[in-house]
Amino acid sequence: MGTGKRGLLTAAVTVVCAVTVLAAPGTAFAAPTPTPSASPSASPTPPPSKDLEKVREKLDKLYHDAAVATDAYNAAEERTKEQSALIVELAKKIVEGQQKLERLKNQAGASARAQYRTGGLPPTAQFLLSDDPQEFIDGAGTVLNGQRATNKLIAEMTRTQKDLQGYADDASAQWRKLESNRKAKAAAKKKIKQQISEAEQLESRLEKKEKERLAELEQQAASQAQTKWLDTGILDEINGKASAQGKKAVEFATAQLGKPYVWGAEGPKSYDCSGLTSQAWLNAGHPIPRTSQEQWKQLPHVDIKDMRPGDLIIYFDDASHVAMYVGDGAIIHSPRPGRTVTIAGAGSMPILGVVRPDA
């Protein structure tokens, strides 16, 4: 990419990010109590930038912790769905096994009743007591077949009872896991709400000018990170073209621009970060893991210089955020509570790595 094109793109991304930050509804910022003014009619004096910078760092940490908890919640939710489905399947197998066992018992009962009708003597005794040689020979074959049938019936009943016990044990284990994940979901949900509530409380103490200044500081930090990333010359090396599925994923993500971030959401009206990326690739016909951490663990990794539109960029050392690369150094992502799905610079946050769903 030429320097001129890169400069225009960087400027465009900066403007989009700035508009998004300043226009975002309910942006959760916070700051110390404003410095009292000398006159009741005078506007409050904004706190020094260094104080607001501390507030920005505090908010970043709160929202980062909320993102980690959201990933834990989403992971527990996915496991809960899987275990519920397994329990349903095991319940079906138990019912089928019980029906099969009942049929086998009926067969055994029929055999016993037939024996009763012959005077209570087993077939073996009946043919041994016969005086007719031909009847003796015929009876020998009948007894042998009967013994085989009986042995087969007993073995089948034993195997069915063993299967039933195994299904029951599996179901009990899945119930225990289900309960454990329900508790994990509840704990994660509690932490998410605590972190977001604290951020909102801090934000509620900010004056309008403080919010505007804090938004400027946030944008400056993102722009500086993006500029530093671009200054490495990385865009000169990134020339990958999107796959057919990648194009569909990008189109889906682009269509969600402006929709609000809601933790745990997978659309269609709102998304969290991994809810957006997982739904985009599901829409492209290629299901991927639900959480950013599992996307990082399970999907093939590619070098940053080899990434192409549709690839997912994983951020922070704990893989707590994910965005979709859309080309020309830009991403589409759902940032955090109080924000909407937006375009940003790919290097505006610390990059952990890149994964490719359709590698």
The residues assigned a catalytic role are 273, 321, 333
Kind plus residue range of the DSSP H or E element containing 352? strand 351-355
Sheet strands side by side (includes 321-327)? 301-302, 351-355, 312-315, 321-327, 330-333, 342-345
Q: Give Cβ neighbours of residue 21 (< 8 Å, ≥ 6 apart).
A: 27, 215, 218, 219
Can you read off the two tokens belonging to residue 345? Answer: 């610079």
Maximum Cα interatomic distance, the chain, rounded to a whole number of Å:
129
SS3 category, 340: strand
d(C-alpha 129, C-alpha 283), whole Å: 77
CB atoms within 10 A of CB 351: 16
Q: Which residues contact 96 (CB under 8 A, 6 or more apart)?
A: none
What is the C-alpha separation between 155 and 162, in angstroms, rounded?
A: 11
Picking from 179, 194, 236, 164, the residue whose alpha carbon sits closest to that of residue 66 is 194
Between CA 246 and CA 79 the distance in angstroms is: 27
Distance CA 224, CA 212 (A): 18
Find, among 6, 4, 2, the residue nearest to 330 by Cα.
6
Q: List all residues 6 or more positions away from 345 whose beta carbon is below 8 Å from its beta carbon.
A: 10, 13, 14, 17, 222, 223, 225, 226, 229, 230, 329, 330, 331
